[in-house]
Amino acid sequence: MVRPIETPWPAALYRPGLWIALIVALVAVTQGPTYFDETLDYDEQTFILMAASVLDGHLPYTQLIDNKPPGLFIVLAGAMALLGESWLAVRAFGDLCLVVLLILVFQYSKRFASVPAAGLASSVLALTTADFMWAHTSSEILAMVPLLGAFMLIDRDELTFRRMALAGVLVAAAVLIRTNLAIVAVLLGVWLLFRVVRTGKGLAGVFGYGLGGLSVLALLLAAYASAGALPNLWVAAVEVPLSYSANQSSSSGVAYRFLLKLGFLIFVEKPWLWVPYVALVALGIARSKRAGGRTVHVLFLWAAITFVALSILKSGTLYGHHMTQLLPLLTVASARGLDHVPLRTASAKFLTLPIALGMIASVGLSLISTTNSVRSGKPLVGHGDVANIAAIIQGDIEQGDTIWAIRAHILHHVLNVPPIYPVMVHPENIVRDEIRRPIAEAGFLPDDAFQRVVDSRPQFIIFDSEELTLYPYSSDMPELEGILAQDYEVAYESDAFILLRYVGNRE
């Protein structure tokens, strides 16, 4: 039995358009500062390099090699084809996906709660986008858009063939953007079979789900087979991710470190962002037991949360931005209980104060940061240090000269100069054994590639101005800093990057 709403929401809050407009406005404000920051995350630059290669007509891993799945680069290539190949366009596309994801959270939440409760939960989640984990165009955000859409399709009373086929396509798309979600794809299939066994209905839907997912995989395999590049796909999309996952910590170790990180983030680093969200989720979930009704759908929601959480833990590592796969679903779960928090109770007051303060802090600090950047004339992303370094290199580079971009590797795209080795599309790939080894064993990289790069004395080297130890490279070759001091001079230096030019004798 569904219990009546206990929260007397004002009538004006029942307009969905109001909440959607608020979500869009919050994302626009919180993401404003990111358009002036070229050091947010280095994966984003790798994605741009890989996507640009796709735009040049190459399948992922045939010219450049990274350990992320191919769907990510194909989707981003499509976005760049429409919006432009600039860093600014890629950042804007990520924010567009973030808006779509939050609107999907709102729409899904409305199945379990009133419009005001769904809007409040989604808006508080939107406040957290001021945090770093949401700031760059990440694979997690891109993958959660189709995955959440698939959840909404699967979470229906009838498992029709057409609807489940579309869900299968969306889940496959999510897996081809985030490899860890393959676990979710399998578990969703198990869930659908459970539904069929329990109700005796929906077998056609199960076939539709499998057919939809396998059709996407078949198209991908056909494309690589026709190009004779199946070995490339196998190594980069299967062997490297498995090697990477196997070399990380155990799931229990990951969970333990996550709890420590979570506590630090909530109570020390950015409490004005995360205390309101945690308070809302905790109170909403605690009160959700009063909602009643929709048992099967509530069970599926928590099953989906469990599936995604397991996929993150089984990936073997956990960074803050990995949690963006879980937060949308937790938000939906919390919305269900917000209709049962009487506004005059201590619980409601406990929730209202941190949300109000979080709103003021998140919006205020974001606006201040953006305003300061505009007033100081700080250039937009791609037009600051990266553009300055590119101009210096363009004025000095000769045919055959190489660039070793330990950082700011988007310069390879800006200057149209390939990395020294294809795997260096991400600078750390050449020294991370769990990535380098399977690629080298497949014959796509010399086993001593790092030493060869150093011995070649690249004409230009770029790294972080703060990373004086050149992590992680100095651990592989301690004498590297001595070589840089002897054979290189500083050609450009800022608060973020240092550009070194080779001045030694190649003879």
Q: Please report where in the chains the tokens 């390099």 appear, as a residue.
A: 49
Look up the pTM and report it: 0.92
According to the model, what pLDDT value does residue 1 have?
40
According to the model, what pLDDT value does residue 2 have?
47
Query: What are the pLDDT tens digits along the chain (507 aa)?
Result: 445 566 678 888 999 999 999 999 999 999 999 999 887 778 899 999 999 999 999 999 999 999 899 999 999 999 999 999 999 999 999 999 999 999 999 999 999 999 999 999 999 999 999 887 888 888 999 999 999 999 999 999 889 999 999 999 999 999 999 999 999 999 999 999 999 998 888 899 999 999 999 999 999 999 999 999 999 999 999 999 888 877 765 555 555 566 666 666 666 677 888 888 888 888 888 888 766 666 889 999 999 999 999 998 877 666 777 889 999 999 999 998 888 877 666 666 666 777 788 888 888 989 999 999 999 999 998 889 999 999 999 999 988 899 999 889 999 999 999 999 999 999 888 888 888 899 999 999 998 888 899 889 999 999 887 654 455 555 556 677 788 888 999 999 998 899 999 998 766
Q: Please report where in the chains the tokens 């104060």 appear, as a residue.
A: 353
According to the model, what pLDDT value does residue 259 have?
63
Task: Assess contact for 499 and 395: CB atoms under 8 A.
Answer: no
Pairing of β 460-464 and β 403-405: parallel
According to the model, what pLDDT value does residue 441 have?
92
Distances (CA, A) of 7 to 109, 121, 340: 16, 14, 6
According to the model, what pLDDT value does residue 480 have?
75
According to the model, what pLDDT value does residue 317 have?
65
Q: What is the DSSP letter of 5?
A: P
According to the model, what pLDDT value does residue 316 have?
62
Q: What is the DSSP letter of 248?
A: S
Distances (CA, A) of 432 to 64, 234, 359, 472, 478: 17, 19, 41, 9, 16
Which tokens is 340 given?
Answer: 């049962």
Which residue type does 425 have?
V
> Across-strand partners of 501?
460, 489
Residue 59 CB-half CA count within 13 A: 18
- The runs of H, that is alpha helices, within 65-138 are 70-83, 87-109, 115-127
Which tokens is 470 given?
Answer: 């050149």
Task: Report d(CA 65, CA 74) in Å as an integer.
Answer: 14
Task: Report d(CA 64, CA 340) in Å as an integer.
Answer: 53
Pairing of β 488-493 and β 403-405: unpaired
